[in-house]
């Protein structure tokens, strides 16, 4: 099923452009940070915040729309069902592909960040950051699963999916930024929303500047982050399966 989904999107130019965007996005960040003489850690963090926590959910929202709407637009879902192909397996294959593309985007963004790091003065801990980037790709994909529920339920146009994905990504980033500025005021919300949870976990993995030490009490451990995202994944996948199976062919 996963191989079939891969074959469907191999001609989709948007997928290729999204990976290209992963390489291009760190360029302006590198220019800005080079002017301010910031470190490679800060460049990597900036790319995680704006390139992955903001941009990647928008891209994944469009990708999952393509994956779910292709059968609808080409009227091929009824043929798949008569084979028969389980709708549950179809959903799992699409979500697995979305997660794979998310990981590829995250790794591609790391590659561009390393190039930027060499420009601003040097890089360090590449293998460690590679592991973190792979995990971030998986976690951010899971964080987008609630958007999948909305897209599948309403079954609207690509424009609708883009708007939903954009609002979701911006809301998550705003809450994350508020958390960074004043964690006490948004901690109850940031404790349950996927994107802020990912950010609180990510910040615990690297040394922080003295100006950010006040957020230390609000950071979460790896088991807590993975456990909460696992709940999101289980609930989101279950609801998506229920909604998709009830859709008329």
Per-residue pLDDT at 161 exceeds 80: yes
Per-residue pLDDT at 164 exceeds 80: yes
pLDDT at residue 16, as a whole number: 73
Per-residue pLDDT at 62 exceeds 90: no
Per-residue pLDDT at 239 exceeds 60: yes
**How would you class 18 by CB atoms within 10 Å of its CB: exposed for 0-12, middle for 13-18, buried for 19 or more?**
buried
Strand, helix or coil for residue 48: helix
Residue 201's pLDDT band (boundaries 50, 70, 90)?
A: very high
Listed as own residue / partner, the contacts of 207-210 with beta carbons closer than 8 Å and 24 or more positions apart are 207/41
| φ, ψ for residue 155, nearest 5 deg | 55, 45
Distances (CA, A) of 87 to 9, 162, 228: 19, 24, 26
Residue 81's pLDDT band (boundaries 50, 70, 90)?
A: low
Mean of all residue pLDDT scores within the chain: 82
Cα 27 versus chain centre, distance: 20
Residue 143's pLDDT band (boundaries 50, 70, 90)?
A: very high
pLDDT at residue 82, as a whole number: 55
Angle (CA) 147 66 23, round 5°: 85
């Amino acid at each position: 099923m996963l191989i079939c989904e891969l074959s469907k999107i191999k001609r989709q130019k948007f997928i290729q452009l999204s990976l290209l965007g992963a390489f291009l996005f760190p360029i302006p960040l590198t220019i800005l940070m080079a002017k301010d003489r910031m470190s490679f850690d800060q460049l990597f963090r900036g790319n995680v915040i704006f390139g992955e926590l903001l941009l990647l959910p928008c891209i994944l929202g469009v990708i999952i729309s393509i994956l779910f709407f292709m059968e609808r637009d080409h009227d091929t879902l009824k043929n798949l069902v008569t084979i028969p192909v389980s709708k549950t397996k179809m959903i799992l294959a699409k979500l697995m592909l979305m997660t794979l593309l998310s990981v590829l985007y995250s790794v591609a963004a790391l590659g561009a960040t390393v190039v930027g790091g060499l420009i601003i003065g040097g890089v360090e801990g590449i293998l460690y950051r590679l592991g973190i980037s792979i995990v971030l790709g998986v976690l951010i994909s899971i964080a987008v699963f609630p958007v999948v529920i909305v897209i599948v339920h309403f079954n609207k146009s690509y424009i609708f999916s883009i708007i939903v994905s954009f609002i979701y990504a911006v809301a998550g980033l705003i809450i994350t930024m508020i958390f960074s500025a004043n964690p006490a005021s948004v901690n109850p919300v940031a404790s349950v929303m996927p994107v802020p949870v990912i950010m609180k976990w990510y910040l615990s993995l690297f040394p922080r500047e003295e100006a950010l030490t006040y957020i230390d009490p609000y950071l979460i451990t790896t088991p807590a982050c993975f456990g909460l995202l696992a709940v999101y994944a289980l609930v989101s996948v279950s609801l998506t399966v229920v909604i998709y199976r009830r859709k008329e062919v």
